[in-house]
Amino acid sequence: MDSGKPVHRRKPDTPVTGLRTALKSQNIREVSVKGLELSKVIRLLEDPLTAGLKERNLFVLKKLLKRNQIGFLLKELTAIAKILNICADKVKDYPEYVSFLCEALTICRLPFLKEKTSDELNYAPDVMEFLSHIGCLMRVPHDDVRQHIVECVTSFYSGVAPKQLIDGVQPTSPGYRLQLLERSELAQTLLLSTAILENQPAIKLQLLQALQLLSSSSDMNCASMLHARGAETICLHMNEPDPSGQVLFRSSEILWNLLERGSKEEVMAQLSTMECVLSLKEAFFHQLLTDSQHSVVQLRNDLLVITTFIAQNLNAPLIESLFARQLVVLSTFPELKSCSPLVHNVKFTYSNEDLKMKKLLLNLLVIMSRDMAALQLYKEERVMMGLLEIMKPLTTASPKCRSRSHDWSDVQWEELQLQALATLATIAPLMLDEYMSYQGNTYLLLLLDWCVGPDSYFAQGHSFHATGGRGSKKAHLRHSIRVLRSVMSEGEESVNRDFCDQGAINQLLRLLMQMESSPDEDDIVTLEIKSDIQLILSMLCETDMHRKELFGSKGVEMVVHFLRKGSDNFYSGLGHNKLILSTVDCVWSCIVGCSTTEDYFLAKDGAFLLLDLLGTSPRCVHGVVLATLLELCDNLNALSHILSWKDSSGQTAPRLLLRLWREEEEELGVNRNPDGEITDPQGPILNHFQLDDFQVSFPANVPTAAVLEISENVRSKIYSIFCKLGFHELPGLPAKDYVTLSIVRRYLDFKVGEVWDEISRELSLEGVRPISPDEEALKVICKISEDTARSVMVEQRSILKQQQLEDAKEEELMYKQIKSPLKQGEVAAKSWNDYVSRTSNYKILKEVKAQREKISEPSKPNQEDGVIRPAEQFIGSIIAVESTDHPGPAGVKVTLAKISMKTTGQDKGEPTTQNSEHFSAVSVRD
């Protein structure tokens, strides 16, 4: 309706969302325009007609940088990289392009920009290529460009914050660029560029810092650097002139990172060249002789650790470069005097860093000892003497050594001694001549005396080798025993004889029992010492009868003591398993073979203890114990001990052996039925491992499966023990054991047939046909083996059938025993019922009386024989009445007395006798 007022058309408001959409589309158009401009810029720079227009080109490039102040778009990185490469090539003729490169590298520090979330994945190859191109810009011969490149790479790890962004673009995620950097060739390119910076120490130092950052942050960067032989490159350039003194430090840190995060083998191989070894040698001795500042000696020790890694490569020219000889001289300083000028110039302050260097040198001796040429160096430089001097206890050390040891603190001297002992354990077996010439056995025995001596010594126990020895001499004792074990294990008779001639056997036995009597609980260190002592005794006595006699009764008592402990703690994880095995080995090596010690061992119930151990120990110990028992069975006195043994459940030794046989066959997968009978007469003792090798032909110098099986399980040992004990009249065997025993008795026959069957099968696999007599002989032998198995099967069936009959008889007897009390109860009940009937019914009582008189009538005396016997009358009196548990009259026990009286018709001249006697205890019955 018209009201007469003017009507104005209202202009609609522009929505905010519409404005943003318009701005976004505008930005997108600008970006696309810039993309189009990048192609024009590249054409402008490459076109021969416009390439020489320097001012115009620089104007366009500055305009390009101005439009990308907030960062480069991911989709433009390929074009930007191409522009940077073109400008880098122009720098040689037009230095004005340097400023553009520097400004562009400054923008590269900012995060890259993306329009879509999917751009990160779509343009990932472009980003990797762009980062690689940044490294290639190091070819530009200008300090500013190279410095900007290094700063740009370093900024990737510092996280430069993005500038204010426009709508439509977002910065990439923080770790995106670093992940792609690892997959690019930037680290490899920067590494190779170190060779062109010899005359630019400042930039080189910055580049090394960047490489250190790259190598410490990523394993892939380390792999890329090693692919370009980065370890070798860094090592060769670390001794170049450096006013700051930081190049060597940065280089060593890079090498450390490559060792830790890269392939250690690859690093060792690259550093094992003569040039690298000489470079390390120069750097090490420069640090050793110049200054004693903390940072310098730390760097010196780091270089020594790197040298230790190189020494693990046997092809490293440490000896050829004379580096090894100089290190060996240092390892014996200051314990031994040397004419080498190197030693005179060394600044030794006895600090903790010097102690670390000393320990590293001793460790280096161990690593280099694998090379025979290094052992010759050790002889020439008297390494053995230096080690023995270090390991001397201060109470027995020479005054010169004691005075030098005072320069070290007590903690340092303890660490040094233990390190020397650990080194000696490796080197002494390799240098037995030097060991004997310097009386190594005497040194170690004196050290053992000191370890168990009464003098007070409080060990600090801070070092690795002092584990478990804090507050005692246990760590020294542990490593001393280790040295003796390693030396005696070589089996050199002259060394062992010298050791025993000094009373070592009795000393070790005394030491072992002294440790055993200690109130301290067994820990891992104590158990290791005990087991090592037993191993040393075993190695000394194994082949020498005189030493077994020296082992004597004290040794037997020691072994018996440890056998009594049993195997309860076998899986404790502390070393009880090793102690049990070393104890059994001690029996085998030190007792078996000497009649006097064997008899004493048997008298101390040693055979019983071995059988106890066999019955309770895990399966892995059975082989050793059975072998020891088998050797002990050569003593005739041992057989009676074995046959008389019984465990707590009454199980005898033959029964235990047969049980182990069945368990072994079950483990091997031998075919048996539930009763233990043979099921396959063609393979009565075959296990599943041999069945797997049926179609395999072994070479002539390789033992077959049938032969290997003898040594790999305990069946052969059990069979051999039964051959000693006999197969008959064995106590305490049920039918199931006799079934197993029938197999054991024929084990050798089965094994011979098994070997012949293998021979026949291998000939068939190799296509060899024996001559007719041999072929027939093979068939006969295999047939005999099968027939033997079948006869054993028949014997097993008869044993089981006999057992079934015996079980049936026992069952019948058991039922009879069950029925007998029931029958007796029925008879007693019937008797009681009869008694009740007689006492309660007079008629029944008269019938019973008449029946009794009728029965007793034939027994009355006959009056016709003419003999009249006077009648005797008895007067009975009740003496006692007792009650029992039986019901009725049977439960009343009455004691009577009787008196015989003369009748009137007796002769008066005969005195009247009065015999009074007690009846035996009777119960009132019917």
Tell which residue, 123, 145, 244, has the closest CA to residue 193: 145
CA atoms within 13 A on the CB side of 413: 22
User: What's the pLDDT score for residue 915?
Assistant: 43
**pLDDT > 70: percent of the chain:** 85
| Beta partners for residue 646, in sequence order | 652
Q: What is the pLDDT of residues 96-119, one digit of tens each?
A: 899 999 999 999 999 999 999 899
Task: Give me the residues of the chain with pLDDT under 70, please.
Answer: 1-36, 160-163, 394-406, 456-462, 468-469, 471, 692-696, 698, 700, 859-926
C-alpha distance from residue 781 to each of 601, 691, 716 (Å): 45, 20, 21
Cβ atoms 200, 143 nearer than 8 A: yes
User: What's the pLDDT score for residue 579?
Assistant: 94
Buried b (16+ CB within 10 A) or exposed e, 752-784: ebbebbbbbbebeeeeeeeeeeeeeebeebbee
C-alpha distance from residue 558 to each of 56, 508, 548, 601 (Å): 101, 11, 14, 11
Q: Tokens for 691?
A: 């069945």
Cβ atoms 654, 668 nearer than 8 A: no
Measured CA to CA, the distance from residue 301 to residue 667 in angstroms comes to 55
Tell which residue, 923, 834, 826, 835, has the closest CA to residue 884: 923
- Who's near 894: CB < 8 A, 6+ residues apart? 878, 880, 881, 922, 923, 924
Cβ atoms 156, 190 nearer than 8 A: no
Q: What is the pLDDT of residues 731-787, one digit of tens each?
A: 888 999 999 999 999 999 999 988 888 888 888 888 888 888 888 888 888 889 889
**pLDDT > 90: percent of the chain:** 51
Q: What is the pLDDT of residues 316-327, one digit of tens each?
A: 999 999 999 999
Buried b (16+ CB within 10 A) or exposed e, 246-284: ebbbbbbbbbbbbbebbbeebbbbbbbbeebbbbbbebb
Query: How many beta carbons lie within 10 A of that of residue 433, not counting itself?
Result: 12
User: What's the pLDDT score for residue 723?
Assistant: 94
pTM of structure: 0.77
Is the peptide bond preceding residue 870 cis, with omega within 30 degrees of 0? no
Query: How many beta carbons lie within 10 A of that of residue 202, not counting itself?
Result: 13
Largest CA distance in the chain: 190
Measured CA to CA, the distance from residue 384 to residue 437 in angstroms comes to 10
- Who's near 413: CB < 8 A, 6+ residues apart? 394, 405
Calculate ∠ Cα 582-587-591, nearest 5°: 145
Residue pointed to by tokens 């003098």 = 455
| Beta partners for residue 660, in sequence order | none
Tell which residue, 310, 306, 330, has the closest CA to residue 320: 310
Cβ atoms 724, 630 nearer than 8 A: yes
Q: What distance lies between CA 32 and its chain's CA centroid?
A: 66
- What is the full DSSP assignment across 178-205? HHHHHHSSHHHHHHHGGGG-TT-HHHHH
User: What's the pLDDT score for residue 895?
Assistant: 56
User: What's the pLDDT score for residue 30?
Assistant: 41
User: What's the pLDDT score for residue 337?
Assistant: 81
User: What's the pLDDT score for residue 919?
Assistant: 41
- Who's near 425: CB < 8 A, 6+ residues apart? 479, 482, 483, 485, 486
Cβ atoms 280, 288 nearer than 8 A: no
| Beta partners for residue 923, in sequence order | 893
Give the 3-state secondary structure of residue 893: strand
C-alpha distance from residue 589 to each of 125, 375, 414, 598, 606 (Å): 71, 33, 36, 11, 14
C-alpha distance from residue 814 to each of 787, 804, 811, 822 (Å): 40, 15, 5, 13
Give helix 264-271 / helix 274-290 axis angle, nearest 10°: 90
User: What's the pLDDT score for residue 859?
Assistant: 63
CA-CA-CA-CA torsion sign (646, 647, 650, 651): negative
Measured CA to CA, the distance from residue 901 to residue 243 in angstroms comes to 150
User: What's the pLDDT score for residue 418?
Assistant: 92
User: What's the pLDDT score for residue 394?
Assistant: 63
Give the 3-state secondary structure of residue 461: coil
- What is the full DSSP assignment across 294-339? HHHHHHHHHHHHHHHHHHTSTTS-TTTTTHHHHHHHHHTTTTS---
Q: What is the pLDDT of residues 254-269, one digit of tens each?
A: 999 999 999 999 999 9
- What is the full DSSP assignment across 462-494? -SGGGTT-TTSSHHHHHHHHHHHHHHHTT--HH
Question: What residue spans of 95-142 are helical by DSSP H?
Answer: 97-108, 119-122, 124-136
Cβ atoms 489, 539 nearer than 8 A: yes
- Who's near 501: CB < 8 A, 6+ residues apart? none
Q: Tokens for 789?
A: 């198995």
Cβ atoms 271, 280 nearer than 8 A: yes
Give the 3-state secondary structure of residue 502: coil
Q: What distance lies between CA 473 and its chain's CA centroid?
A: 27
